[in-house]
Every structure is written in structure tokens, then in C-alpha cells.
Chain A
Amino acid sequence: QVHLVQSGAEVKKPGASVKISCKASGYTFTTYYMHWVRQAPGQGPEWLAMINPSGDITTYSQKFQVRITVTRDTSTSTVYMELSSLRSGDTAVYYCARGGVITFGGVVVKRWIDYWGQGTLVTVSS
């Protein structure tokens, strides 16, 4: 069965960076996208970024473009998300989530995000 296991909770000071890992198992790692989503306390989810199956294309929300980096290590089936210049508003639970697509003639006709990691709480506080 599919499992996404994330690294543990982090406490960071404003201005610092955080790097979260997401280790995948139970499926062929190189055939699915990986998305990152965060959820601030009491708020709805917010999509941050995704990386394609081969790991050579990343897509970032413009809101985070300048301070987010997503990478993947195929040898360990692990995806990483690093967020820099942290501020108090970045306090949230961060999730990785597996994504799939169906294409037809090179065009995406179906897209979904199915399995989610357990979440990593990042607290930004001075």
C-alpha cells in the first residue's frame, strides 16, 4: 500500500529556513507527481508546489516562488521541500501528497491528488 512518511515537527525563528522530507513507498516513485500543501491553524489547505515524476520540472505557486524549493531523490524515493525566509504566517502543517495525471495527445485531461503524508508541523516563533 502507498505510504508517504514525513519528517518530524520543526520550530524555527523568523528569517530561518526549513527543509521537510517525504519518503514514499508502496508504488513506483518515478511515475507520480508529488505535491506540497500546507494548512495554517483553523484554515483551509493551501497548495504550494509540485514536482513531476522525473524530477526535472517543478511548479511553484507564485506566492512562494522566490523562497520555496522542491527536489526529489529517486535513489531513496524521497521528496524534499525547503521554505526560506520564514515568518510567523508560515506556521502551519505541511503535507506532501501524491498526484497523478491522465494525458491525451499530450494534454492533461484528468488530474488528481490521492495519498497524503501525515503532515509536519512547522512553528515559526521568535
Chain B
Amino acid sequence: DIQLTQSPTFLSASVGDRVTITCRASQGISNFVAWYQQKPGKAPKFLIYDVSILQSGVPSRFSGSGSGTEFTLTISSLQPEDFATYYCQQLNSYPFTFGPGTKVDIK
């Protein structure tokens, strides 16, 4: 199975901050990376697929980049509704594994 790691595990930030989350894969996963946002008690919300393509309705302050085994999710200006846990997922090979998550909390 492809293992995903995320850094940092926990991030404390303020409204307006630029935030970057990194996802690293144990082997190359081409462009098959997706990102999700999850709030407590809710299903994950789909944000980005194919490294950098934003799902319809996702604010443009979210962006994705990367290649090969290292990928990033960036929030250009953190908003109050962005405080949540973020997961990356690889859809390159079965099973479609998820990263362990990065919790973004209010400083």
C-alpha cells in the first residue's frame, strides 16, 4: 500500500494567515492526489483533485500543487470557516489511502 504522511500534524494560525500543508507519498502517485476538509461530526468535504483542480464552489484561496511524491495544499488567507482538519488522499493505486490529517486550529 502507498503510505501518505502529512506535515505538520497540528497547525495553529490566525485569520488572514497563509497556511501550507504538505503531503508526502511513499512512492510516486502521478497526479492522483485529492484534498478534503473535515469538521467535527461531518463527512469530509471535497476540495481539490488532480493535484490542483478546485471542486466547483471551493473558494479560490485554496490551491494545490506538487508532483511525484510531494504535494501541498495552500490556503492563501485563512478564514474563520477554514479551521478544520485537512486530509490528502492518493487515488493512483488500490487501496486509495488517506493521510493522517492536519488539524488547523485558531491561534
Contacts and interface: CB of A to CB of B under 8 A. Distances in A.
A111 B43 contact: no
Contact of B99 (A44, A111, A112, A116): A44
Interface string A36-51: 0000000011111000
Contacts of A113: 34, 46, 89, 91, 96
Nearest to B92: A111
Nearest to B100: A44
A115 B49 CA distance: 13
> Which of the listed residues A44, A48, A97 has the most CB atoms from chain B within 10 Å of its own CB?
A44
B94 A59 contact: yes
B87 interface: yes
Contact of A47 (B46, B49, B50, B95): B95
A118 B95 contact: no
A44 B43 contact: no
Interface residues of A, number: 22
A102 to B, nearest CB: 9
Interface string B23-60: 00000000110101000000111100110010100000
B49 A112 contact: yes
A117 B43 contact: yes
Interface in A25-63: 35, 44-48, 59, 61-63
B97 interface: yes
A110 B101 CA distance: 23
13 contacts: A44-B98, A44-B100, A45-B44, A45-B98, A47-B96, A47-B97, A47-B98, A95-B43, A111-B32, A111-B49, A113-B91, A113-B96, A118-B43
Interface of B: 31-32, 34, 36, 43-46, 49-50, 53, 55, 87, 89, 91, 94-101
